[in-house]
Amino acid sequence: MILLDTHTFVWLASDPARLSKPAYEAIGKFQTGLLLSAVSGWEIALLYKRGRLLLPVAPEVFLERAVARHGIHELPVTRQRALEAVSLPDIHNDPFDRILIAEALGRKCQIITKDSVIPTYPGVSAVW
């Protein structure tokens, strides 16, 4: 199992050429075990609403199609993960990324991300 950061999911669904070679290979290797946090759906919708993310269709349609096309398993944001995210060291200030970090640590899985701050957390294994 491997967790997709929000930008990784968006690029996989819309412009796979933006993925690094190791990221693309990891996605292929874990093709049946790709994970996406519900927080990524929230972040995508928020960025779209604010005009910071252009999508060919509404976020809910984009998400539904991409999740189905890539066989991605969606993860709810649980109370446990939310509390773990708050308990993390104050290295990253982005609440969306803090949830993803807590999810990766809690599930003991890698995260595919271009974000250079995420792998600085102890125990986080990132691919890019």
Mean pLDDT of 47-65: 97
Residue-level pLDDT at 31 = 85
CATH value at residue 61: 3.40.50.1010
- pTM value? 0.95
- With 90 as the cut, is the pLDDT of residue 106 above it? yes
- What is the rounded distance in angstroms from the CA atom of residue 70 to the CA atom of residue 103? 20
In order, the DSSP letters of 85-108 are: HHHS-TT---HHHHHHHHHHHHHT
Which whole number is the average pLDDT over 51-59? Answer: 97
pLDDT-based confidence at 40, cuts 50/70/90?
A: very high
The alpha carbon of 74 is separated from its chain's Cα centroid by a whole number of angstroms, namely: 10
Q: How many structural domains are present in the chain?
A: 1
What pLDDT is stored for residue 94 in this prediction?
Answer: 95
Residue 98: pLDDT above 90? yes
Domain encompassing residue 32: 2-127
